[in-house]
Structure 1
Amino acid sequence: MYEDSWYSFVPEVQQHKRGASQNLGRRRAESLLQQPNETANGADAPQPLEDLFEDPFESNSPPEPTLARRAKSYSDFYDIVKAQLHKDGAQKKRKKTRRNKRREICGIEALDVPETDPAALTPEQPLLDLYKDELLQASQQKYQLYHDQLAMTERHLDALLDDTDSALKLLASLSESFDAVEEQTTSFKSQCDDLITEQTRLEKLADEVGTDLHYYAYLDNVTRRLNAPGAGRLVDDDAFGEVLENLDSCIAFMMKNSSYRDAEQYLARYQSLMTKALHLLEVGFESRLEKVSAEISPKIAATQSESARHALAYGRFEELISESYCLLPNIRKVVLNAYDQAGNARLGPNFDVYSNTVNSIFQAYLNARDRFLRTTIQHDFDTFKSEVKAGSIESAARNLIKQCFERAYGEETLFTKIFSVEPQYNSDAHSVYAVLKSNTRPAVNPVNIVPLATNLQSALQSAPLQTICNVVGWATNEYLLLEYDEEETGFVRHCRELAARLLTEHLWAFTDRAFEAEIDKSIVRATVGPEALTIGPVTNGVASSNAYPPIRRALELLVMFDQCMPKERSQRTTSPIPPLLHASLSSLRLATSRIRAARNGTDPDLFAIKNLLILKNELVSLEIVPSSSSQPAVAAAAATPEGMQHFSQIWDSTLSISSSVQAGLGFLAGLGSYIPRPFSHSPATSKNGLGEGGGEEKNPAEQLDDLLRQSIYAFTSRWGGLIHDAKTRKTGAKTLAKVERELEDVLDRAFAGQHEVVGKLKEAVWGAAEAVGREGREEGRRKGSKGGR
C-alpha cells in the first residue's frame, strides 16, 4: 500500500536527527516526518522547543519486577510484604529526586543565553530584520510539521481510494464471472438432481425386488429341510422356531400380495409346509409324552403311597417333560402364536392352523394326565361313595370338594409352567378355557369340574333337603365369602373361581330343583286335617307355634334357603322364593275357604291375619327383600327372638289401605307396601290372592299384601260393628263388656304374648266402630234433610 519512497524519505534529515539525538542525550527523538531545514549553517539552526522534551524518568509503565523473598511460614508473610513495600517506596522516591534534579539542570541551561556582541550589530540594520528568517522558521516549525503530516495523509488516502476503486472493479468482474458460471451450471445441477433421484428410485426398487425374491427363494430351502430324512429332530432344535417365523412371514406376504406372479401357488405350498412343520411338532410332543408315560406309569401303579403318587405325577413328570433341548420352547412359541398368556385367542391369518395344532397338543397332554391321575381320582371317588353309604354325606362332600380343588390347582400350575398360558375363565368359544372345558374325560383338569359335580349330585339326590342346604351353604361360606383380613393367594383365587363355577353351573340349580320338589310335596300336595284349621294356643312364646302347618313349613324352607344362598340370589326371579310364596298363599286361601264352610268357630279373617303376618315377618327378618329400617329390626329381634319383631314396621310401612278402608281406619292412611317387586309371578295362576277372579296378574308379594289388607279390613269392620251395636244398645246385641271380653279372648289366643299386635288390632277395631257410628250419623242427617224438603 505504501510506496518505497516513503521508507527512504529525507535521508539527510534522518542523519541530522541521529546526530542531534546523540547530542541531546535523553531528549525526545525527533519525528521522522520533520522536513530538512534549508539553511546552510547547521550550527545556527534553531533548537527544538523545550516542551517537546520528554523526561525518561516520568513513565507510567509498571516497575521492574523483583524477586521477593519466600516466606518461611504464614506468620513471616506479613514481614516480607512490609519490607517489599518499603523497598518499592524507596526506589520511587529516588526516581522522583533524580527527575527533579534533571529538571533543574535543564532550566538552568535554558536560562544560559549567550550575550550578543554589540559590535556585531550595525545601527543601520534592525535586530528584527537580522533574525527575521530564523524567527519565522522557528515560529512556523511546529505548524510545518502538522502541514507535512496532513499532506502525507492526503497522499495515503488518495492511494487508498485508488486501491479501493481497483478492488471494486475486480469484484464487479468476479461477480459477472460468477453469474455467468451459475447460469451455465443451473442446467447441469438439475440434470444431476434427476440422476440422483433416479438412482434412489432404482436402489429402492432393487431392495424391494430383492426382498420379494427372498420370499420366493425361501421355498426351496424350507422344503429341503422339512422333507429331509430325520426332519422330526428339527422340532427339538432352536432353528425350528426360525422356520416357523419365516413360514409365517412368507404366508402373510403372499396373502397380502395376491396379485404377484404365482402368489397363489406359493401360498398353498407355504401353507402345506406350515401344516407339515406343526405336525412334526405335534408328533414330537406326543412321542415325548409316551416316553414319560412309559417311565412314570409303572411306578405310579406299583406304589400305594398317596404322597409318592403325587410326587411322580407332578414333580417327576415336570422334570422329564422339560429334559428336551428346545421342544418345549418351540411348543410355547406355537401356543403363543394362537393364544396370549391369559388364554385369549389371537385371531390372525394363521390362527386356524395354529389353533388346530395347539388343540391337538392340549388333547394329547390331557390324555396323558388322565392316564397318570386316573387311579388316584378313581380312588377319591370310591372313598367318597363309601363315606356316603356310611351316612356321613356332609363330611364326605367337603373332603371331595377340597381334594378336587387342590388337584385342579396343581393341574393348572403344571399346565401354566409347560405351555406359558393360564386358562382363565372366558366365554369365548376360541379361548383356551373353552378348549380345555370340551374335554369329557373324568380327570379334573384346571377347568373341568363336571366329574366333581356329577358325583356330588348323585350322592345328594336322595339326601334330605337340609343336608343339601348344608353342603351348598358350606361351599358358599368357605370359598365365596372371604374375610377382609385374608390375603388372596393364587390358591385362594383359584378355589374361589372353581367354587363359583361349581355353584352357579351345577349346585344352585340342583338345590332349586330340590326346593321346588319339597314345595310341591309339603305345601301344594300337603294333606291337612280339620284340626289344623283352628287357631291353637301359642306354646313357649313362639309366634309360629300355632300357625297353619303349610305356612310353618314355608317358614322353614325360607330359613334353609337363606342359610345356603347369598342374599342377592334370594331376590332373583329364578329363585324358589316366588313359587314358595305363591304356594303358601294358595294353601292359606283354601284353608280360609274351608273354615268359612265348616263354621268351626274359628275366625277366618283372624286366621289369615295370623299366618300372613308370620309369613311376612319372616321375609323381613331374613332380609330376602331390602329393609328400610334394619337397625331397629335387629334391636327388636334381640328383644323378642321368637316373636313378630318386625310387626311395627309392617303395620306402619307395609300395608297400603284402599280408599274405602281409609275412611274407616284413618290412622292407617299412610301405609305402603314394604315388599318391592323383584319377583315375577309364575304363570301358574291369573287370579289375585283373594281367590277371586282378577283381570290383572299380580306377583306373590302383591298377593300377600292384598290378602293381608283385605283380612284386616274384614276383621276390624266386623268387630267394629259389634262394638258399635253394643254401645248403641241395639236390639239383640251383646253388651259392650261381653263383646270386649270375647275380642280379648280371640286376640290373646291367636297372639299370646304379642301385646303390640293385640293393641294395634284393638285400636283398629275401635277405629272401625267410630267410623261406623260416624257413617250412621251422616246417614241420619241425609235422611232428615230429605224429609224436611
Structure 2
Amino acid sequence: MYEDSWYSFVPEFQHRTAPSASQTTGHRRKESLLQQPNGAIEHADNANSLPALFEDQDRDKSPPEPTLSRRAKSYSDFYDIVRAHLAGHSPKKRRKRRRNDRSWEALAVPESVAARLPGEEESHGDALEQELLRASQQEYLLYEDELAMTERHLQSLIADADSALKVLESLGQSFRAVDEQTSSFQAQCDGLLTKQRRLEALADSMSNDLSYYAYLEPITRRLNAPGAGRLVDGSEFTKILSTLDSCTDFMATNPSYRDAETYLARYQALLTKALHLLEVGFTNHLNKVSAEISRQIAATQSESARHALAYGRFEEIVLESYFLVPNLQTVVRNAYDQDGQPSSDPKAEIYANTASNLFHSYWAARERDLKPIIQHDLDTFKTEAKESIETAARNYVKQCFESSHNEASLFRKIFSIEAQYSTDPRSAYAVLKSHQRSVLTGTNVTPIASNLQAVLQSSDLQTICNFVGWITNEYLLLDYDEEETPFTSRCRELTARLLSEHLWTFTDGFFDVEISKRITKAAVPPEALKIGPVSNGDIASNAFPPIKRALELLVMFDQSMPKERCQRNSPVVFKIVKESIASLHRAEARIKSTKNGTDPDLFMVKNLLTLKNELMTLEIGDMRSNHTPAASLGAAGLQHFAQIWDTLRLPQNLLGGFLSSAFGSLSTYIPTRIPGSSLWSRSGASTPVVPGITPGGGGEMMHDASEQLDEALRQSIYGFTRRWAGVLNEARGGAGAGAGGATKLGGKNLAKVERELDEMLERAFGGQPEVVGKLKEAIQIEAQAQVQAAMGQGQGQKRSVVTRV
C-alpha cells in the first residue's frame, strides 16, 4: 500500500549494547532512562524521555540508540503493530512519568547552577528530544501527509467538476438556442423522412407484388424441362409447391390486379402439372418395388417369410427414396390433417384429388403383391370351414384383423396420416373406403364380410348367432381389466364396422327367415292345440310349439347381440313378439271352431305369460328385472309373474265401490271395463281389440311389442276370469253372469265345477301355485262383481261397476 521511502524517516542505527561501567561500593549510578536495550521494543519509551543527567552526559554524550518497529507489509498490518505497541507500553509510561517526576524533584538543580551550565549541552538535548519525538510520531505524520494529499486530490476533482458543469451549461444553452432557431428546419426534415418511409414501404409493397408475377417464367421452365420428373425426388419440389400456393393465393385475393385471372389460371395449371409429376414418380417407384417384392413372395412358401417380405421389406424399400416420400407426405397433409379430416384450405380439393390418385396407385400395387397371400388365406379358410364353420370363421377374423392392423401401420408410415372413422364424404376414410379391393386397407372391411357371408350362408342360425356373439364379446365389449393397446383399439373399430355394416343385417335376415318358417308359416297339428301337463317344472314345456320356437329365437338373439340391439326398437324382437301373438290368435280361433275341449282363454293366458316372462328374464324392452337373467330356456318357471300381475292391473283391481278399498286405487293405465262387453279396450268401447289394430279399426300397427303383448294378456285373463266366474255363480244356484242372464247347469254342482277348474289350472300351470292362486282369486272377485251387478239391476239401480280414474 505504501512505498518503502515512507518508512525511511527514522535512521537505521546499528544495534549496540550500552557500555557497562564499574560500580562503586559507595554510590551506584542508575542507567540512563533514555537508553533502550537492543531488540526490546515493548520497553522503549521514545515519546516521553527525561533530560540526561550530568554524570551521564560526562560519561557519554551521544544520543541513545533508537529501536525500530517492524515494517508493516500492508496498511492493516501497520495498524496492528501500532496498536500492539501502544497497548503494551501505555501503563508503564504513566508509572515512569510519576517516578521520573519524583526523580526530577529529587535531582532538581538550582537555577544558579543551571545558569552556569554550557549552552550547547542544552541545545543538544532539545534537538535530541525533538528528533526522538518525531521518530515516535512517524506513523501519525504519515497519516497526516496521506490526508493532505487526499485533500489536494479532492479539491482538484471539485475544481474539475465545477469547470465541466460550466462547460455543459454553456453547451446546453448553445443547443437550446440552435434548437429554437432550427425548429422549422427540423419539421421539414421530419416530413421528408416520413415521406421517404412511405415511399420505401410503397416500393417494397410493389416489389413484393411484382415478385408474384416474376415466379411464372422460372417455374414454367423448370416444370417443362426434359428432366422435370427428377424434381419430385429432390428437396426443391416442396419449395416449388409452396411458391405456387403463395402465388395462387395472391392472385385469388387480388382479382383487381392486372392480368390476375390469367396468372391465376396459369399458376393452377403449373400446380396441377407438379402434382402430376409426383403421381408419376410415386407410381414408377411403386412399380419397381412391387416387381421385386412380388417375385420374392411368389418364390417362397413360408408364411413367416411372406409376411416379412410383404410388410418389413416393402416398407424398407419404399422409404429408401431421397425426398419422394417426404414430398408425398407434404401433398397429403395439404389435403388432410393428422386424423384424415379434410383441410379448410381452398386449394385442398386439388391436393385431395392428387391424394386419392396416390392412394389408388398404392393399393393397386399392394393388391398385386399380396394376391398370393390373400388367396392362400382364403383357401385355408374354406378348407377349415368344411370341418367346423364357426372355428374357421374365428380363425379367419383373427388373421384378417392382424393383417388390417399391419396395413394401417404401413399406410401411416408412408402417407403420414391416420384415417379415422368419419361420415364426411371428403375425409380420407371415405376416400379409402371407396377403393373396394380384395386387400384389407385398414378401413375397408368389405373383403372380410364378403368371405364370411359366403361361408356362413350355408350354416344354420345357431352357428351364425354363436359366431356373432363370439366376435361381439371378444372385440367389441371392452374389458376394463386390460389396458387398451393400439391393436385392440383398431380391432374394436373394425368389429363395430363389421357388425353394424354387414353381420348384423346378415343375421337379421336369417332371423326373418326362421320367424317366417317356424312361427308365421309353421304347421300346427291338432294335438298342439291342447294344453298338456307341465314336465320337470318347466313352465314352457307344455307351451304352444310356435311359442317355444319364439322363446328359443329370443334367447339366441339376446346371446348374440349387445343389449342395445335387444331393446324395443329391435325389428327382430318386434317381429318375434308380433308373429307369436298372431300365431296364438290363429290357434285360439281354431280352438273355438273345433271345440276340442281346450279353454281358449286359458290357452292364451298360458302362452302369453310364458312369452312375457321370457322377455322380462332377458331384459328385453324397457322392462327391467331385479333377478338375474335366466341362462337358458329351461328356467324354473314364471319368475316374474308377480311383477307381470301388478303391471297388468287385473280385474280385482278394477272393481269399484266396496272392493276399491281392499285392492287399491285405479290408474289411468288400466283400461275401462264396460259391463256386458266381452273385452277391454283402452277407449272403453265394446268392440274387441285385435293386436296390431287400433280400436277404431284404422289398421295402424302398434310400434311397441310390449304393449301389444300386455293388451293381449289383459284380454285373455279377463275373458277367462269372467267366463268362469259366471260358471261358478250358476253352480251356486242361479246368480247370473253377463248381460244375457244366467242359465242352469243341470246336474253340475259347485264342487264338481271347482274340481274341474283346479284340474285345468294345475295341468296348465303345474308347479306354479302362485299363478293358480292369483287366477282363482281373480275369478272369485269377478264372481262377486257379477252378483253385485245383478243385484243392482234387479233393484233398478243403474250405475257403472267400474269407473275410470
Task: Give the TM-score normalised by the residue count of structure 2.
Answer: 0.72
In the alignment, what sits opposite 2:705?
700
Question: 2:758 is matched by which residue type in structure 1?
Answer: E
Question: 1:723 is matched by which residue type in structure 2?
Answer: L
In the alignment, what sits opposite 2:619?
623
Q: Is the 8 A contact 2:652 2:778 kept in 1?
A: no
Residues 1:383 and 1:692: Cα distance change in structure 2 (over 3 Å):
same
Larger helix fraction of residues? 1
In the alignment, what sits opposite 2:300?
303
Q: CA deviation at 1:722?
A: 2.8
Mark the runs of 5 or more structure 1 residues left unpaired by the alignment.
Answer: 1-56, 58-65, 71-77, 100-170, 675-685
1:285 matches 2:282? yes
1:340-739 equivalence runs, <5 A:
340-388=337-385, 390-630=386-626, 633-634=627-628, 641-655=635-649, 667=663, 688-689=690-691, 694-695=696-697, 697=700, 698=702, 699-728=704-733, 732=745, 734-739=748-753
Question: 1:712 is matched by which residue type in structure 2?
Answer: I
Taking the aligned partners of 1:499 and 1:636, their CA distance within structure 2 comes to 27
Q: CA deviation at 1:253?
A: 1.3
Q: CA deviation at 1:395?
A: 1.0
Taking the aligned partners of 1:708 and 1:185, their CA distance within structure 2 comes to 111
In the alignment, what sits opposite 1:259?
256
CA deviations on 1:47-104 (whole Å, 9 max, x unpaired) are xxxxxxxxxx9xxxxxxxx98999xxxxxxx9x99996564566689999999xxxxx
1:747 matches 2:761? yes
Residues 1:687 and 1:90: Cα distance change in structure 2 (over 3 Å):
farther
Question: 1:644 is matched by which residue type in structure 2?
Answer: L
Residues 1:640 and 1:509: Cα distance change in structure 2 (over 3 Å):
closer
Taking the aligned partners of 1:303 and 1:177, their CA distance within structure 2 comes to 100
SS of alignment partner, residue 571 of structure 2: coil
CA deviations on 1:304-358 (whole Å, 9 max, x unpaired) are 1111111111111111111111111111111111111111111323222211211
Q: Is the 8 A contact 2:251 2:261 kept in 1?
A: yes
Residues 1:440 and 1:417: Cα distance change in structure 2 (over 3 Å):
same
Residues 1:555 and 1:96: Cα distance change in structure 2 (over 3 Å):
farther
Residues 1:234 and 1:458: Cα distance change in structure 2 (over 3 Å):
same
Question: 1:313 is matched by which residue type in structure 2?
Answer: A
Taking the aligned partners of 1:384 and 1:784, their CA distance within structure 2 comes to 78
CA deviations on 1:396-445 (whole Å, 9 max, x unpaired) are 11111111111111100000011111111111111111111111221111
Q: CA deviation at 1:194?
A: 0.8
User: Is the deviation greater in 356-365 or in 611-620?
Assistant: 356-365
Q: CA deviation at 1:732?
A: 4.2
In the alignment, what sits opposite 1:334?
331
In the alignment, what sits opposite 1:215?
212
CA deviations on 1:699-719 (whole Å, 9 max, x unpaired) are 432221111111111211222
Q: CA deviation at 1:761?
A: 1.1
Q: CA deviation at 1:752?
A: 0.3
Taking the aligned partners of 1:642 and 1:174, their CA distance within structure 2 comes to 117
Residues 1:95 and 1:353: Cα distance change in structure 2 (over 3 Å):
farther
Q: CA deviation at 1:487?
A: 1.2
SS of alignment partner, residue 425 of structure 2: coil
In the alignment, what sits opposite 2:771?
757
In the alignment, what sits opposite 1:153?
none
In the alignment, what sits opposite 2:789?
775
Q: Is the 8 A contact 1:538 1:546 kept in 2?
A: yes
In the alignment, what sits opposite 2:229?
232
Q: Is the 8 A contact 1:589 1:691 kept in 2?
A: no
Taking the aligned partners of 1:296 and 1:227, their CA distance within structure 2 comes to 33
Q: Is the 8 A contact 2:617 2:629 kept in 1?
A: no
In the alignment, what sits opposite 2:780?
766
Question: 1:648 is matched by which residue type in structure 2?
Answer: A
SS of alignment partner, residue 544 of structure 1: coil
SS of alignment partner, residue 634 of structure 1: coil
User: Is the deviation greater in 610-619 or in 390-399?
Assistant: 390-399
SS of alignment partner, residue 212 of structure 2: helix
Q: CA deviation at 1:176?
A: 11
User: Is the deviation greater in 715-724 or in 643-652?
Assistant: 715-724
CA deviations on 1:522-579 (whole Å, 9 max, x unpaired) are 1111111111111111111110111111111111111111011111111153531111
Taking the aligned partners of 1:250 and 1:658, their CA distance within structure 2 comes to 87
Residues 1:732 and 1:627: Cα distance change in structure 2 (over 3 Å):
closer
SS of alignment partner, residue 409 of structure 2: helix
Taking the aligned partners of 2:789 and 2:486, their CA distance within structure 1 comes to 74
In the alignment, what sits opposite 1:12?
none
Match of 2:320 among 296, 320, 323: 323
Taking the aligned partners of 2:692 and 2:470, their CA distance within structure 1 comes to 40
Q: Is the 8 A contact 1:595 1:604 kept in 2?
A: yes
Q: CA deviation at 1:648?
A: 0.9
Taking the aligned partners of 1:340 and 1:290, their CA distance within structure 2 comes to 28
Q: CA deviation at 1:740?
A: 2.0
In the alignment, what sits opposite 1:42?
none
Question: How many residues of Structure 1 are paired with residues of Structure 2 in the alignment?
Answer: 633
SS of alignment partner, residue 536 of structure 1: coil
Q: CA deviation at 1:780?
A: 4.3
Taking the aligned partners of 2:795 and 2:243, their CA distance within structure 1 comes to 106
Taking the aligned partners of 1:473 and 1:703, their CA distance within structure 2 comes to 29
In the alignment, what sits opposite 1:54?
none
Taking the aligned partners of 1:409 and 1:322, their CA distance within structure 2 comes to 19
Residues 1:590 and 1:84: Cα distance change in structure 2 (over 3 Å):
farther
Taking the aligned partners of 1:481 and 1:509, their CA distance within structure 2 comes to 19
Question: 2:224 is matched by which residue type in structure 1?
Answer: N
Q: Is the 8 A contact 1:612 1:708 kept in 2?
A: yes
Question: 1:424 is matched by which residue type in structure 2?
Answer: Q
Residues 1:94 and 1:290: Cα distance change in structure 2 (over 3 Å):
farther
Taking the aligned partners of 2:754 and 2:338, their CA distance within structure 1 comes to 79
Residues 1:68 and 1:646: Cα distance change in structure 2 (over 3 Å):
farther
Taking the aligned partners of 1:241 and 1:174, their CA distance within structure 2 comes to 62
Q: CA deviation at 1:179?
A: 8.4
Taking the aligned partners of 1:428 and 1:752, their CA distance within structure 2 comes to 60
In the alignment, what sits opposite 1:243?
240
Q: CA deviation at 1:687?
A: 6.6
SS of alignment partner, residue 541 of structure 2: helix
Task: Give the TM-score normalised by the residue count of structure 1.
Answer: 0.74
Question: 2:286 is matched by which residue type in structure 1?
Answer: L
1:7-156 equivalence runs, <5 A:
85=87, 87-88=89-90
SS of alignment partner, residue 543 of structure 1: coil
Q: CA deviation at 1:485?
A: 0.7
CA RMSD after TM alignment: 3.7
Residues 1:280 and 1:784: Cα distance change in structure 2 (over 3 Å):
closer
Taking the aligned partners of 1:427 and 1:420, their CA distance within structure 2 comes to 21
Question: 2:304 is matched by which residue type in structure 1?
Answer: S
